[in-house]
């Protein structure tokens, strides 16, 4: 896309929170002159600076849609899954069975219907967001469904954190934590249960996030069974649950993982692709969402399935830039590189646990490079697929010649 679009978006978002070029530069680790060049349209971010643009989006408190637009205007892939515009299901878009079962389990929880939905990288947080909101509207009523998306960063002193949350769900005149709690309590006093979806709960400053957790816990106890919470996130949310003992809201919550990608999932976005190609893409990708789509793109090309053998597909998948983005920072650390190098030839790495204490295993898992698979002696962590294992080997070999 043209430079002016990126420049215009960046300038607009910076003006909205009165961010200075110096402030952005200090936050994302580049010079003030570079930020000014971006704003003026004199240059675009270089190809290796996608992470800087994403950090800039986080600093400017952009929504997922705004973050995707900023990344795309600079020529990068979007970070967040693109959701369909429609928020209610139609007869041609039935609610996935996974979402129906998710609500069945949530509504059966006693005494607190509070659930954490944990997802690895490259899924949405949550996946099937529009289907979740549509099912919630069906079960609770459209006026009894709230969707909170905590900002990446609040304003000076975090004073606008709760004002932003209140605006998202139509709670008027709630500019403080106490006003937000009072407004939410008034909604709970109305007949019927109230459903609240919290996307990416772990993002943002810990102070206001902990206050939000306290508010939701307090209201859950005061209005027992009326506040149904589905809190979504990934690695940081798991850390908060298992390491943040003061976040009592998370301690009372049930936890579950989004199920593995299936042929049926792929069918919904590739209705005209034969099932045998979907199954082949799923196998070669190990169920990794981005790699499955990349494999489908390769295999769905006319006559490609007859000319591309598995080795050719694996070789192409191993060069996927998102795998390199995940592995390169981790493998730069000598200790992590030594551990991962030793694991590359193992069929099983370690027993799967509710929380992985080893920090390297934990990062590999939440980057969606590992998965838990069942065995006769329990669930074990394995590399998702040969393409990921091969990428790790390529990165290690690339780093071997660099000075320590």
Q: What is the mean pLDDT of residues 50-70?
A: 83
pLDDT band at 306 (very low <50, low <70, confident <90, very high): low
Give the single-character DSSP code of 54: H
The two beta strands, 378-383 and 350-351, are antiparallel
- Distance CA(81)–CA(79), nearest Å, equals 7
Look at residue 117 and tell me whether its pLDDT is greater than 90: yes
Question: Which residue matches tokens 């215009």?
Answer: 8
- Distance CA(186)–CA(181), nearest Å, equals 9
Give the single-character DSSP code of 46: -
Look at residue 172 and tell me whether its pLDDT is greater than 80: no
36-48 pLDDT per residue, tens: 999 988 888 988 8
Q: Tokens for 252, please give them.
A: 């009372």
343-390 pLDDT per residue, tens: 999 999 999 999 999 999 999 999 999 999 999 999 999 999 999 999
Measured CA distances, 239 to 29, 242, 348, 354 (Å)? 26, 5, 24, 11
Look at residue 144 and tell me whether its pLDDT is greater than 90: yes
pLDDT at residue 283, rounded to an integer: 97
Look at residue 151 and tell me whether its pLDDT is greater than 80: yes
- Distance CA(300)–CA(281), nearest Å, equals 10
Strand-pairing partners, residue 147, are 197
Measured CA distances, 238 to 25, 218, 259, 324, 365 (Å)? 30, 21, 16, 24, 12
212-270 pLDDT per residue, tens: 988 999 999 999 889 999 999 999 899 888 887 666 778 889 999 999 999 998 988 88
Q: What is the mean pLDDT of residues 314-326?
A: 95
| Helical residues (DSSP H) of 96-205, grouped into ranges | 97-108, 129-140, 161-168, 177-188
pLDDT at residue 244, rounded to an integer: 74
Q: How many CB atoms lie within 10 A of CB 97?
A: 10
Backbone phi and psi for residue 76, each to the nearest 5 degrees, phi listed first? -105, 165
Measured CA distances, 247 to 216, 234, 356, 376 (Å)? 11, 16, 19, 36
Long-range CB contacts for residues 293-297, cutoff 8 Å, separation at least 24: 294/320, 296/266, 296/270
To 5 degrees, how large is the angle CA 330–CA 381–CA 255?
A: 95
Angle between helices 129-140 and 97-108 (to 10 degrees): 50
> Is-contact 3 43, C-beta < 8 A?
yes
pLDDT band at 81 (very low <50, low <70, confident <90, very high): low
> Is-contact 226 194, C-beta < 8 A?
yes
């Amino acid at each position: 896309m043209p430079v002016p679009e990126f420049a215009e978006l960046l300038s607009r978002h910076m003006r909205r929170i009165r961010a200075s070029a110096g402030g952005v530069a200090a936050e994302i680790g580049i010079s003030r002159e570079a930020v000014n060049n971006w704003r003026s349209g004199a240059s675009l971010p270089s190809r290796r600076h996608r992470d800087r643009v994403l950090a800039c989006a986080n600093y400017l408190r952009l929504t997922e849609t705004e973050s995707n637009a900023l990344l795309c205007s600079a020529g990068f892939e979007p970070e967040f899954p693109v959701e369909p515009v429609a928020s209610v299901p139609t007869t041609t878009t039935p609610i996935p069975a996974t979402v129906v079962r998710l609500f069945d389990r949530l509504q059966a929880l006693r005494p607190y219907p509070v659930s954490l939905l944990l997802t690895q990288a490259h899924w949405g947080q949550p996946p099937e967001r529009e289907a979740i909101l549509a099912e919630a509207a069906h079960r609770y009523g459209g006026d009894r469904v709230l969707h909170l998306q905590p900002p990446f960063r609040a304003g000076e002193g975090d004073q606008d954190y709760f004002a932003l949350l209140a605006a998202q769900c139509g709670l008027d005149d709630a500019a403080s934590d106490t006003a937000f709690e009072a407004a939410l309590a008034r909604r709970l006093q109305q007949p019927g249960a109230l459903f609240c979806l919290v996307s990416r709960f772990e993002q943002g400053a810990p102070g206001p996030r902990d206050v939000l957790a306290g508010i939701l816990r307090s209201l859950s106890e005061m209005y027992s069974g009326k506040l149904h919470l589905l809190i979504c996130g990934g690695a940081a949310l798991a850390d908060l649950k298992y390491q943040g003992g003061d976040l009592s809201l998370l301690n009372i919550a049930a936890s579950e993982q989004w199920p593995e990608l299936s042929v049926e999932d792929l069918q919904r976005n590739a209705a005209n692709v034969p099932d045998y190609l979907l199954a082949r893409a799923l196998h070669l990708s190990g169920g990794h969402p981005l790699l499955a789509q990349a494999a489908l793109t390769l295999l769905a090309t006319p006559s490609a399935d007859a000319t591309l053998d598995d080795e050719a597909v694996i070789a192409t998948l191993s060069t996927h830039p998102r795998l390199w983005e995940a592995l390169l920072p981790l493998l730069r650390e000598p200790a992590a590189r030594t551990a991962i190098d030793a694991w590359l030839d193992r069929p099983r790495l370690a027993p799967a646990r509710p929380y992985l204490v080893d920090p390297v295993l934990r990062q590999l898992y939440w980057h969606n490079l590992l998965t838990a698979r069942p065995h006769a002696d329990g669930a074990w962590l394995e590399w998702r697929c040969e393409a990921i294992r091969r990428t790790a080997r390529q990165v290690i070999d690339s780093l071997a010649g660099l000075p320590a």
